Amino acid sequence: QQPVQSPQAVILREGEDAVINCSSSKALYSVHWYRQKHGEAPVFLMILLKGGEQKGHEKISASFNEKKQQSSLYLTASQLSYSGTYFCGTERNFGNEKLTFGTGTRLTIIP
Amino acid sequence: GAGVSQSPSNKVTEKGKDVELRCDPISGHTALYWYRQSLGQGLEFLIYFQGNSAPDKSGLPSDRFSAERTGGSVSTLTIQRTQQEDSAVYLCASSLRGTGLGNTIYFGEGSWLTVV
């Protein structure tokens, strides 16, 4: 039931692009993306809802393939501040009311 | 308050003692969540409150764990007879009405629990 994220870890140079994937074995209603820096609380990035609605960050984009139960987060022209662990949280049904979080993807940006 | 507030921020306790962790959600948020994060691990769901009731307690690991919420606001997570495997960061989060309406959840800084 826990979504699977890939890759588990990635190291990029500043300015490079990254894609982080989140896959579920079950149908999903929504996918939420968070970034957590070491020792800090997870911070909201984006919500993707079944039907195509998105709410989120201006500089980050994401996709949600309902048929494949997959979501991808796209980080372009990465900055040092993008470093952290990215989590996807999935909600299976409307009214499920809780997020089940993935295993996390650790992103390190180097100068 | 402006954000989700948790206390204590750090707690070291002896094995077998009881601990209480407190969460003060964002004002007006009816949904409240407790998650647990072990070192280097993901976020493990514990319990969800809507108002004062807990429609989903499925994540509580054992009967040593309990939680309550009063006045539709502050919540307390209690761990009885703590064990070393309880050591983790306990994160509280709140949401305006629940994620089912496309609302995001906002996390507190967490309570770092160490059982020695």
**pLDDT tens, position by position, A62-110:** 999 888 899 999 998 889 999 999 999 998 876 667 889 998 999 999 9
CA distances from B21 to A15, A82, B63, B68 (A): 41, 31, 16, 11
Query: A15 CA to chain B: closest CA distance, Å?
Result: 27
What pLDDT, on the 0 to 100 scale, is given for residue A95? 66
CA torsion sign for B80, A42, A44, A20 is negative
Which of B45, B91, B107 minimises the CB distance to A100? B45
Whole-number pLDDT of residue A19: 94
Say if B35 is an interface residue toward chain A (CB within 8 Å).
Answer: yes
Question: With contacts defined as CB-CB under 8 Å, which chain A residues touch B31?
Answer: 97
B chain contacts of residue A94, beta-carbon cutoff 8 Å: 100
Q: Does B30 touch chain A (CB under 8 A)?
A: no
Give me the percent of chain A exceeding a pLDDT of 90.
Answer: 53
Q: Distance between CA atoms of A53 and A64, rounded to whole angstroms?
A: 10
